[in-house]
Amino acid sequence: MNAIARIARGAIVIGACIAIGYVWYLIASVIFVVNPVAAGIIAVVAAALVWLAGGDGDGEDDEK
């Protein structure tokens, strides 16, 4: 059951990340037309949020 719960939690997290990323992409694409610097700042903030959420980009579960 624990494995099923981990898979379900992972699927929810991945789905949420995709949704958030898509929203960020839409916002950044609109702002980029108006102000490329603001779009760059948003990209940095989005990367910082992902890092703060605990992901290091290797796809591994970093929880101990």
More confident residue, 12 or 33: 12
pLDDT value, residue 16? 84
Q: Judge whether 60 lies within some domain.
A: no
Do the domain assignments include residue 57?
no
pTM: 0.39
User: How far is residue 47's CA from residue 13's CA, in Å, rounded to a whole number?
Assistant: 16
* 59 backbone φψ class: left, alpha, beta (φ>0; ψ -120 to 50): left
If one counts the domains in the chain, the total is: 1
Question: Is 35 a member of any domain?
Answer: yes
Asked whether residue 61 is domain-assigned, the answer is no
Among 58, 47, 48, 61, CA closest to 13: 61
Residue (of 53, 63, 64) closest to 14 by Cα position: 53
Task: Answer whether residue 42 is part of any domain.
Answer: yes
Whole-number pLDDT of residue 1: 62
pLDDT at 54: 66
Question: Count of CB atoms within 10 A of residue 27's CB?
Answer: 14
